[in-house]
Structure formats: C-alpha cells, structure tokens
Amino acid sequence: MKTSTFFSIALALIGSKVNAFNLADVQRTTSGSIVPGRYIVEFDSNAHLSSSGMKRDESISTPHEAIYKQLKERDTSYTVHQEYSDGLFIGASITLNSDNDLANLLSTEGVIDFRQVHLLSLPETVFPQTAQWPAAANLPDSTTYSSTSSSAVNSNSTTTTTSAKVTTTTTCKGFSVLGQIGAESVQASGNKGKGVKIGIIDGGVDYTREPLGGCYGKPECKFIGGYDFVGDSYNGTNSPIPDNDPFDNCYTHGTITAGLIGANSNGNKYNVVGVAPEASLLQYRVFGCNGATTDDIVLQAMQRAYNDGVDIINLSVGESSGWTESMLSVFASRLTASGVVLSISAGNRGQVGSFYSYSPGSGIGAINVGANDNAFFPAQQASVSTGHAPITYFNYQGFTPGTYPLYAFNTDPSVAADGCTIPAGTPNLKGYVVLVRRGGCALEDKAKNIYYQGGRQMLLINTQGSVPLYQNFPLDFGFVSYEDGNYLLSQIGNNHTSTNNTTLTFTFNPYQAPNVWTGNITSYFSEIGPTNDLFMAPSIVAPGTNLISIVPSTFGNWSMEIGTSFSTPLVSGASALYIASKGGSQSTSPDKVKSALQISADYLTTSKSDQTLANVAVQGSGKLNVAEALNQDRLIVSPSEILLNDSNYFASTQYLTLTNPTNKIVKYTLSNLPAGTLLSYQSGLNQSSDQPVPQVSNGANVKFSQSSVTLLPRSTWVVLLQFQQPQGLDSKRFPVYSGFIQITGGSTNVQVPYLGVAAKMKDMPILDGTSYYLGFNSPTILNENNSIQSSSGQSYNFQNGQYPTVIYRLVGGTPLLLIDLIDSNLTTTNLGFTPNYNSKRDLIGDEDVSFLEERKLNSIIDSNNDKFWKSSKTQSLISLYCQLTNFKGINCSGFNQGKSSTFGKVPILGNLYEQDFIPRSTDNIDGAGEDHLTFALKSNKFSNGTIIPNGTYKFLLRTLHITGDRSKQSDYESWVSAPFTIST
C-alpha cells in the first residue's frame, strides 16, 4: 500500500505526542469500513442437489439458483452484485434490506459462510502540482542566466563531497534498486521472467507509456490482457461500469506497480527497469479515479486472475485486520493452495505498533511483503564554477538546465528564518539559485515567498545530520547538505549575490546519495505483526522508500514513491524470476517460491546504531535477495518459518528437513541467532506500544538434536529442535520473541525465522476500561450533544438526532464483538456473571491492570454441546443467526432451555450489533484514525428489525478473548452501561 506522507516528514512524527482526543469530533454513527447491508456469501457447491433437505428439484441446476429460490420463498429482499462460480469459491455478493432478511439468508440451506463487505481505500500516490502559484506582478527587473558552463559535470560520472575536497565515486546507474535485491545479476544472466504470467490487481494502467510496451491485448504486447471491473467514476459506493480495457490515466497506483514489476529499458530515463521486464502482465482494475473499492470486487478480480491462468498475483491493497480470517485472506489462502503465488502488501501503519497486520496479506501461504528503507536517496548533482566538488541536491528530477548565480537573504548560520519574509529591497529573483536555511517557518512559506519574488530555483540548506526532504513545488527545489550549503553561502558577498562570478550549472545528472541514516533498516511505516492468531506477518521485506517509477503522462511521466504497495511488486517480480529459472510454474509451487525467497533473505538489524537483529514481526525473514534464492547449490530447508505460538499452546518441539541439492558431500552447521524481543504493551498499562516498539535482549534458547549434519549428494536429513521461551519477561507486556535458525555450509548460508509470544494470548486485554487515551472512562454512552450521558440515565425518542451512541476502545483484537439489550433491573445475580468493566472503573495505576478478572458464573455444562446444530455452517454464522433471532431461530432453542452454554444463559432481550474478527484500536500516532469505535442506536429496533418497546434498558457489550470459546461467557470481557430510556 501507498503511504500518505513523505518518508522524511513521517520520520519526524516518531516520538511525537499523541494528539488529545476531542469528544466533539466523534461521529455518532456505527464505525467501520463496512458497506451497510452487503455481504459476501459462500454457498455449498452441492446446494442445488437438494432443496431444504427434500428431494432434488430438477429445475435447479446451480447452487446460486437453489439459494435464490429459498430466499424468494421466504419473501427476502435482496440484490445480487457479483457472483463467484469456480472450484475455489462459490457464492455471491448480496445486499439485504434488513437484518430480518439476513436471518433468512443465514438459515438458508446451502449457505455455509459469509462476511460483511468492506470499503477499501488507497491514499493518493502522487503529489501533483495542482495548486499553481501565480507570479507576482511589478517585480524589479532581473538578469536571466541560461548559458552552458564549461565546468558542467559529465552525466556519466559523479562526485560527492562535504568539503572543498573533490571525491570521485562510481558511475551512476540511475535510480534502479535491482542491485539491492539481487535482481541485477539475475537479469545479467539472461533471466528476465520470460514465460511467466503476472496478474496485477490494482488501479488500471497507462500501457501507452513506452517502458510499458505501448500496446495492449496482443501477443507481442507486455500487457496481454486484463479487465476493468469498475470504470473511471467508481468511488466504492456507486455502481461500477466494467469493460474489457484496464487503461487508466487518472490514477497512478496501478501504473507505478506495473512499472516496478515489468518496465522495459526503452524510454526509461531514470533506468528503473522492472524486476521481470519480460514477464507477461495482466492488469485487473479495481479502483476508479479516486482510489476506492470494495472487497467483493477485489475477490472477483482474484477469481478472474485465477481463471486466466496467471502464475502470480500482485495485490497492493488491504485494510486493518489483525486476523487471517477475512474473506479475502481466506480466498488468498485457497489461491496459494491451488498453485498461484500471491505477493500482497503488508500495510503502512507500523507506527501504531505490533499485532496490527493487514488483510488479505495475512492469508496463509501468501507472501506478506513489508518494506525496508532504500539504500540511497535519489539526487542530482550540479557543478560549481569554482572547481569545488559537485553539489548534491536531493530531488530525483534535475533543475532546469542552465548556469545560474547565487542569491541569499542572509548568510548568518544562526539565522534560520531567512525566507520567512522577503526583506525590503529584494530584487526580482528570476535567474538566481536562492539559498535559504531550514527552519524558522513552514517550508512551503519560504518556497512561496521566493516564487512570488520571481525565483524559480531554490536550494534549502539542511540542518546538520538531518534526513533530507522531498517536496513538489511549482519551482525547482532541492535539499543540500549542511556542509555544502555553508560552502555556497561562503560565496555570497555583501550584496546577497555570489562573488567572483560563482555559478551553479545544472544538467541531468542522477546520483544515488547514500542513505547513511536508515538504509537497509525496516521502514518506520511497515506493518508490524504477528497476526492475532500468531501467523507470521510480514513474510519478507523489500525496498519501499524513495522508489522512482512510471506514472501516466497526465501526471508527469515519473514519480517518487513510498509504501509497502511498492515493495510488493519487487517481490512479485522476484517470484517471476524464480519460476522462470525452474522452467515455469508447472515445475514449482507457491510454497516452494515463498520458501526459497524466505530462507535466502538477508536479515536486518534494528537500526544503524543498534546492531541487534530486528524482530521477525518487523522484518519477516529479512530483505529479499533473489540471486541467493536462485542459487542452485543452496541448501533446501523446510519449513521456511517456525511458528511457536503462545505460552498456552507453546509448540516447543520443531523439525527442520534439510536437503543437499549438490553433487558434493557437504557439512552443515546449525545455530540460533536470537533477535530483539518486542514488548508489545506498555509497562503498567493495557495499551499497545508505538513504533519504535521497545526491544529487550531476552531471547529463546534452542537445543538441536545435532548441531551439524553431513549430507551425501542429494540426500535429506531431519533435525529436531527444542525451543525454550525467553526468561525474565513480563507477560503483561505480551513479549514477541523471535530469531533465526542459521545453517552454514556449502556455497551459501540460509536462515529460517522463528516467532512466538511469551504470554497467553487469551490474557490479552480487549476492552479499554481506562481514561488513558480518551480522557474519560470507557465504554460509555454519548447523548445527542456528544456529551457523556449521566449515570442515572436519559430518555431518547429518536427524533432530531436524539439517540444513544456507545463509544469504546479495543486495546486487543477480538474474534467476536456483540452489543445486546438487557433489562435495566438485571443484577449480577440474575445476569449470570459479573461484568468486568463499568463506567466508574479506571485501571490507571492498578498493578493488575492487564490481568483479567475472574467471573462469577452459573456453571451449566452441556456434555452434548458438541452436537449442537450439526451442519456445514461456520461457527460464526451460527452464532450470528442465533443472535439475530434472539436464540429463537431454528436449532437455537437450546440456548434458552439450559441445554447450551453459559454464554447462551445470559438473559438478553435482543441483539443490536455483531462483528467478527476486529482489530485493536490505535492511538492515532500516525494520524490515520481508528483510535476508537462507536455503535449508534439510531432507531428503536433490534438488529432483526423487530421494535424495541418503550422502557428502560442497558447495553451489554461483550468481546471474546483470542483463542476463547464462543459458547463460554467466561471467555468474554463484558461491560454493562448506565440505564437509558426509550420513549417514542
């Protein structure tokens, strides 16, 4: 996915304070990205072979017809949007008018699973100069300099300096990152992915760009096919207008992704050739011009790509999840099991801490791709007439070619506010390179002031040791280092212009300025795992910052990008190189592709100053190295990742299968390389830790059945590993420990990542019962004025916005959240348990803050409970159906007769809201929201559509613990609200 802010700007946010929560900003609606009333429903493939358990109806020939007939017989109002009809997924995307219609759907014979449809959005990918600054009139005259200097730098050589000393460096290779992932040497060997088909599910593509082949739909074209599922005008809520041509020149994301995978060298001025330029590409457009879609459309595109026979699917889209259970994740798992490699972006919200993976990248078997920082900053170089070494300025685009004198408002190093205002007597700055220092006011203010004064070239002098910034202004702009800037200022005379005729000459001269700050460190924005069900996320990382790629000509042909959206196509291209090296997808499989990329990856350190290995939840198996993945002599190891689970289900015994692929006898040695252990939750608080998540050195110990193995040619051996969890850790901080099993020997080393949690995931707190973030105890009820309702109650008539809204936060993910209505007179005795959160409870300072309270339960155990409602329906579907019918639906009666679980004994009056597999809330450190959740009771109706009688009630909110049993009330955290009255 694409980040919404520039790399260096976002770096400055790390460590900043979280903005104070403002109650007035709360939207009094039910939160989430759910499309109201719309569901992806899975059908039993044999649903048409029977009709509600009766004899087969010969007039029905498909599962769809069987389901639709039953819905019509029950007078269900529904609209079908998409249908899915292959062996991987049979079903439909359906909108229902009411929850009563939903109850009908869920009880229909042949419906086996469903998920609510979510709206998926991507931020803008390019920062176009949409706001043009008009030049001010009546400026003083100026002299324009535009001659070619004899001291101009040769475009085939580069130099760099921080002083007057000239230092020659290597020949510039443009801005390609192929060398950083091993693809450069693979391509040099002749492997460029020929014969491999890659499906790109994204925005459309401007295939008319020369590096993308210039044509579509013909055998000789790079883009041999695809489909537009939405059309230009689609915004995620209106009706899509599909067609057969995925051309797109109004949204850049898909073109950028395609360029990173497969751009040719023709017309490629920055030498950013794709990883697999000879692969055949198919583009599936699921975003209109504004970058929004729904997951049922993405599912349709995934299914079509599979039917079109692609070998790889690149998917740079997702949403907050934390689970492997979303419909797209489940379908991604099925695709990989069916032979398709899936490379999916990990997400861009690493700032909010761990246990925040994205869907569908969390699909089992998919390659979940995170990002590491580029080893260089794209820059250009200008020559100096004094003979000083070329000046590096940070902008991937070169300044307008020519030779220009210098101008500065102030040369005093202690004055940072130069350019914040234009001093009286300043001339027209046209034709000058204007020098200003960083600081004192907004950067845009300085740029505007210079622009309004006629200036069209601006160099900003960076503060010492700071990361440079990139900006798009309607003038030539670039950062220069503190040292180079001071040298240029030393050439300024008393009249604010350069002395001795000092000039800068600009030519097109790309330069890879070394990233000495964060190069080859995991990117601050890259999503941090693991999933809540403790699968590894990310799987691997690849460069995801400062990437130069192609955009439609309407956006200026080229752009610089940042995000896991753009590390992902590098992995897709690498997968194509691997498949091509094996002779095609028939000779390998997705698990072998993923395994080869993982065990050959280069592990990364925590930072430039901290050489501790970065946690596997941050870096996955490490940085992509496709050259090593293709090494024919590399040891073959299975599995390629070791999942140790949590303390409750600790999988301490593991096995590694080693295969020597060579014709030589090789001795291999095994060792444990522990990585830093993440402390995912803050000390003394049930609140997650932000990035950088604190790390400690406590690591796992590993005992090997044998520490070395000598293998005969092409032989296999199994080694037993016995893991011991780290000691001395506070389980209330939910430590995520990890590391690598390194195996040395032969021509190359391999490493297998492992990961576990030194705590019980069932103990992870869910409801935030504190005032730590919101500033008031929660959950609670907000009234029509966005004020906290009185604890003594309030009356709501549902007129003119008079309705109650529940506001709450989740400090941990939950597989099931329910809000029900109960009688206001219920006590803990007749409720059947003691709610462990209420509006008067504040846990700040409580030493047992992250422990769960013991519940007082009515122990009603049903030994036959496992026989309840035997069918192919999923547990979540059954649970929702019984909630919607207030446990009075077919086969739900046992809940009210003491024959079911303790959960079913709770005397609710009816269900109001249900949601599955919800991620935890954030503290909005990245400004992307999702820091709280709300439920708005906007009408006096239960979720099944029946009327709530006038009376006084309370809300009952319940959240199921990770690994909890849905049928046991003791496995839920619960909150009972203050009373409120419905009076209509």
Assess whether 846 carries a catalytic annotation: no
Reference 316, options 258, 230, 250; nearest CA is 258
Looking at the predicted structure, is the pLDDT value of residue 160 above 60?
no
Instruction: Indicate the helix (H) or strand (E) that contains 912.
Output: strand 910-918
Q: What is the DSSP letter of 853?
A: P
* Tens digits of residue pLDDT in 423-477: 999 999 999 999 999 999 999 999 999 999 999 999 999 998 899 989 888 999 9
Nearest CA-CA partner of 343 in 543, 179, 201, 185: 201
For this structure, is 253 an active site residue? yes
Q: What is the dihedral of CA 913, 916, 919, 920, to 10 degrees?
A: 50
Identify the weakest region by mean pLDDT among 448-457, 603-612, 774-783, 898-907: 898-907
Amino acid residing at 232: D
Cβ-in-10-Å burial (0-12, 13-18, 19+) of 801 comes to: exposed
pLDDT tens across 246-287, in order? 999 999 999 999 999 999 999 999 999 999 999 999 999 999
pLDDT surpassing 90 at residue 33 = no
Residue among 378, 416, 417 at smallest CA distance from 394: 378
* C-beta neighbour count of 951 within 10 angstroms: 12
Q: For residue 819, is it left (φ>0), alpha (ψ between -120 and 50) or beta?
A: beta
Active-site choice (253, 388, 496, 932): 253
Structure tokens at 178: 């192929």
What is the structure's pLDDT at 793? 92
Whose structure tokens read 């003594």? Answer: 792
Out of 44, 99, 101, 202, the active site residue is: 202
Alpha-carbon torsion (620, 621, 626, 630), positive or negative? negative
Instruction: State the Cα–Cα distance between residues 473 and 490, nearest whole angstrom.
Output: 27
Q: CA 19, 24, 27 angle in degrees (round to 5)?
A: 100
Of 839, 974, 825, nearest to 909 by C-alpha is 825
Structure tokens at 71: 């819905």
Residues in Cβ contact with 385 at an 8 Å cutoff, skipping those fewer than 6 apart: 149, 151, 403, 501, 502, 503, 504, 505
In angstroms, the Cα distances linking 43 to 71, 91, 304 are: 13, 5, 18
Handedness of CA 916, 917, 921, 924 (dihedral sign): negative
Residue 872, exposed/middle/buried by CB under 10 A (0-12, 13-18, 19+)? Answer: middle
Report yes or no on whether pTM surpasses 0.85: yes
> Which of the residue ranges 144-153, 282-291, 412-421 has the most confident prediction, judged by mean pLDDT?
282-291
Instruction: Give the model's pLDDT for residue 684.
Output: 84
The whole-number pLDDT of residue 122 equals 67
Strand spans (E) along 685-762: 695-696, 701-704, 708-711, 716-724, 735-744, 750-757
DSSP E strand stretches across 148-196: 159-160, 167-168
Q: Mean pLDDT across the stretch 523-539?
A: 95
Res. 121: pLDDT tops 60: yes
What is d(CA 154, CA 507) in angstroms, rounded to the nearest whole number? 9
Residue type, 512: Q
Q: Per-residue confidence at 47, pLDDT binned at 50, 70, 90?
A: confident
pLDDT tens digits along 626-669: 999 999 999 999 999 999 999 999 999 999 999 999 999 999 99
Alpha-carbon distances of 873 from 57, 114, 303, 920, rounded to whole Å: 22, 10, 23, 27
Burial of residue 28 (CB within 10 Å: 0-12, 13-18, 19+) is middle
Count other C-beta atoms under 10 Å from residue 570's C-beta: 31
- The answer to whether the beta carbons of residues 802 and 845 sit under 8 Å apart is no
- Residue pLDDT, tens place only, 764-798: 999 998 888 999 989 999 999 999 999 999 999 99
- Ranking 126-140, 578-592, 599-613, 916-930 by mean pLDDT, the lowest is 126-140
651, amino acid identity? A
Helices (H), 715-807: none
Question: What is the distance between the alpha carbons of residues 910 and 884, in angstroms, rounded to a whole number?
Answer: 8
- DSSP class of residue 863 equals T
Which of the four pLDDT bands, split at 50, 70 and 90, describes residue 211?
Answer: very high
H or E stretch including 293? Answer: strand 292-294
- Please tell me the number of Cα atoms within 13 Å of 524 on its side-chain side: 20
DSSP 983: -
Indicate which residue of 149, 359, 565, 921 is catalytic. 565
- The torsion angle over the Cα atoms of residues 198, 199, 202 and 207, rounded to 10 degrees, is 70
Q: What value does the mean pLDDT of the chain take? A: 86
* Beta-sheet pairing, 376-384 with 391-393: antiparallel
